[in-house]
Amino acid sequence: MIEKINYRQLNGLDLAYLGDAAYETYIRQHLLALGITKPAKLQHTAKEYVSAKAHAALYNLMVAENMLTDEEEEFFRRGRNAKSHTKAKNTDTVTYRISTGFGAMIGYLHASEQIERLEELIVWIFEQVENGRTRDNGTTTH
């Protein structure tokens, strides 16, 4: 049973929390489907999709390609502008905040049950990462 969430009442950090979990599930399933099964390789490869730097690069590509709806941008901003009481670990504050916004946007799509739209973006994300577009923006290392 999936419980309904009043996503409009959630703050940006709550949406990012939900979005990170939903996003991570898609990434893990995708990597396993690619045949990657060794834990160290899974962890290393997953970073190309789930790091704050990757999120920021993906968001910037989405903006450059005018992919997001006004409502998706609104929920991105809600996450980006949320007052977090934690510090960014392996990145700068701006990148961390963009990553939080990215997570909030994914959380919004998941909580509002816009699964077709979410999966459209997820497929696009797989293509960007696997074609090196996030790396080209200096966001991931190999």
Residue from 27, 14, 86, 87 nearest 55 by CA? 27
Answer yes or no: 20 catalytic. yes
Task: Specify whether the CB–CB gap between 62 and 109 falls below 8 A.
Answer: no
Maximal C-alpha separation, the chain: 41
Q: Which two tokens stand for residue 11?
A: 């703050």
Find out whether 111 and 15 touch, Cβ atoms under 8 Å. yes
Rounded CA-CA distance 12/97 in Å is: 11
**Measured between alpha carbons, how far is 24 from 21 in angstroms, rounded to an integer?**
5
Looking at 20, 70, 92, 136, which residue is catalytic? 20
Could you give the residue numbers annotated as active site?
A: 20
